[in-house]
Amino acid sequence: MHDNSLFTPTDEHRMLREMVRQFTADQVEPQAAEFDEKEQLNIPLFRSLGDLGLLGITIPVEHGGSGMDTVAAVIVAQELSRSDPGFALAWLAHSMLFVNNFYYCSSDEQKERFLEPTLTGEWVGGMCMTEPGHGTDVIGMTTTAVRDGDDYILNGTKTYITNGPEAHIFLVYAKTEGRVSAFVVTADAPGFSASNHIPKMGMRASSMSEIIFEDCRIPASNLLGEEGGGLTHMMRNLEIERLALAAMSLGIADRCLEMMVHYGNERIAFGQPINRYGQIQRYIADSYAMTEAARCLIYQVARNVGPDVRNRIGSDAAKLFAAPVGKNVADNAMQVFGGAGYCREFPIERLWRDAKLLEIGGGTLESHQKNLTKDLTRLYCR
């Protein structure tokens, strides 16, 4: 239905979408409720993403990846999120927050040491930016890295780290002499620890913890790029991250819309299908219109984001618009389903819980409004 050139620009994108959609229906959907209930990442399923080449979707083929672009990352996030946004979040934290970011700021020697096990899924990856005292105000971070001979010594605490309990490797932002730098840290480094799993409302098929550095010693060769260059890596990678998060919201909206159209046609009240009632028609029609608008914006922007193409205005706008769409369409679906939507028989209550995260994680709605106002002012008021 939507397979036209904007959403699926090449044959390669079309095959990718079909493959991920099939995999999601066959393997992700059947386990989604169970892993939500258990609040666990399904590690064997995660590793099968490596077999499909999805963990290195944006990494060039010569380095073992699938050599695809931002549109491809968006397709994967959207399709996985139709069934299991929590599992999709684990994929995103690994392949966008760690793998894509690491690839574009690492040396050949660092790629040689760390890349391969993260592409296969043997190692799970994560990214440590947020701290208990500094979320949106990320530049205020207080985690430090001090050079000591051939090592750096890290001290500080990161929080809300997706994949924290399971991950073997992290991209960590810490301050060197007051400036943000990026490091790669493995979970076996002395002085590294992960807290217990932090319980959360939704996205429960991915786990989350604090990551604590207590005189954590890592080789100086784990510095990514230059000292003080961390903010550039962070800002560049945030664009693809935000588009993938926006696409997760789109996947939730797609699924909820589909379910409410079927249910509206089948559920009888007062002797006729409920889709004959104008109030139900409004839920369905409004949901369709907002989902299509989100789809167009996300894919339009995704064509213009890449390692060498910056587009903060587009990626902030796409996430600002799309995040409430997933939440509102899930809410409309629950209303159309009535009590059945509130119960766990259908996936709607899970998708409804999952959808809210997209208004917070990877930047709150307010942070997108702040960035957009700043960037638009710079653009228009020169």
Instruction: Retrieve residue 191's tokens.
Output: 């002085």
The answer to whether the CB of 334 falls within 8 A of the CB of 345 is: no
Question: Which of 129, 182, 223, 358 touches ligand FAD by CB under 6 A?
Answer: 129
Pair 16, 76: CB distance under 8 Å: yes
Regarding 135 and contact with ligand FAD (CB under 6 A), the answer is yes
* Binding mask of the shown chain, residues 75 to 104, with x at each position contacting ligand FAD by CB under 6 A: ------------------x---x-------
Cβ distance to ligand FAD smaller for residue 93 or 290: 93
Q: For Cα atoms 173, 100, 91, give the angle at the middle one, nearest 5 degrees.
A: 95
Q: Is 130 in the site for ligand FAD (CB under 6 A)?
A: yes
204 near 175, Cβ under 8 Å?
A: no
**Closer residue to ligand FAD in complex, CB, 173/299:** 173
239 labelled catalytic = no
For the bound state, the minimum distance from the C-beta of residue 48 to ligand FAD, rounded and expressed in Å, comes to 22
User: Counting contacts by CB under 6 A, is residue 373 touching ligand FAD?
Assistant: no
If the CB atoms of residues 121 and 361 are measured against ligand FAD, the closer one turns out to be 361
The stretch among 44-52, 189-197, 246-254, 361-369 that binds ligand FAD (CB under 6 A) is 361-369
CA distance 315 to 336: 31
Q: Which of 245, 247, 266 is nearest to 255 (CA)?
A: 247
Cα three-residue angle 245-363-295, rounded to 5 degrees: 35
Q: Is 35 in the site for ligand FAD (CB under 6 A)?
A: no
Shortest spacing between CB 185 and ligand FAD, in angstroms: 13
Q: Is 364 in the site for ligand FAD (CB under 6 A)?
A: yes
Minimal distance in Å, beta carbon 44 to ligand FAD? 22
Judged by beta carbon, residue 162 or residue 315, the one nearer ligand FAD is 162
- Alpha helix positions (H), 200-311: 230-266, 278-302
Reading phi first (left if > 0) and then psi (alpha if -120 to 50, else beta), residue 282 is in alpha
In angstroms, the CA 323 to CA 354 distance is 11
The nearer residue to ligand FAD, 139 or 289, going by C-beta atoms, is: 139
Q: Please tell me which residue in 131, 166, 210, 241 is annotated as part of the active site.
A: 241
Interaction between residue 375 and ligand FAD (CB under 6 A): no
By CB under 6 A, is residue 323 in contact with ligand FAD?
no
Q: How many residues bind ligand FAD (CB under 6 A)?
A: 24
Contact at 8 Å (CB) between 266 and 273? yes
3-state secondary structure 168-225: CEEEEEEEECCEEEEEEEECCCCCEEECCCCCCCCCCCCCEEEEEEEEEEEEHHHEEC
CB of 162 to ligand FAD, least distance (A): 4
Work out which of 83, 237, 332, 367 binds ligand FAD, going by CB under 6 A.
Answer: 367
- Indicate which residues carry an active-site annotation: 241
Residues near ligand FAD (CB under 6 A): 93, 97, 126-130, 135-136, 160-162, 200, 203, 208, 357, 360-364, 366-367, 370
